Amino acid sequence: MNRRWFQGLLAALLLSIGLGLAQPALAGPVDWHEVPATAEGRQWWDAGSLRLNRDGNLTVLSRFQPAASATGADADPAARAPASELYVMELDCGQGLFRDTSINGIPQWGSHWQATAGDGLIEETLAAVCAAWNDPLAVS
């Protein structure tokens, strides 16, 4: 009887997890805002994805495009820009920290909080997103 109860509990747990993951994502219009580019590349954040999570931190979808290498751009002027990557970032505006919770749709379980450490793109993204949360009318 104990084993049957445990198997039933395990089956219910797996079913609830499966149903939770199978739910469609709610997609809305994308409202990209670019922060000033740096030598590392370009970065945008989506104002339509800005949310406050249950821990009181902001989450936002961002897009990063690395800069084309100087040699590659000089060698072939028609070279295409590098592909961009999508990140879901969690931001702690009070402490100026961030962590990536998803990269290109792949969850980053156990990601650690990081300081911006002089990364101009992340610093600007954090500042812009936190300012937009505090004054939504400032983002147009």
Question: Could you report the per-residue pLDDT of 107-132, keeping only the tens digit for each?
Answer: 999 999 999 999 999 999 999 999 99
Q: What percent of the chain has a predicted confidence (pLDDT) above 90?
A: 62
Alpha-carbon span 62 to 119, nearest angstrom? 15
Residue 8 covered by a domain = no
Residue 65 belongs to domain with CATH number: 2.40.128
Structure-token match 């690395």, residue found: 66
Short-list 126, 121, 122, 62, CA closest to 94: 126
Residue 41 covered by a domain = yes
Q: Which two tokens stand for residue 74?
A: 């000089």
Residue 1 covered by a domain = no
Residue 45 covered by a domain = yes
Q: Position 37: which residue type? A: A
pTM: 0.71
Residue 5 covered by a domain = no
C-alpha dist (Å) from residue 4 to 7, 12, 13: 5, 12, 14
Domain that holds residue 77: 27-138
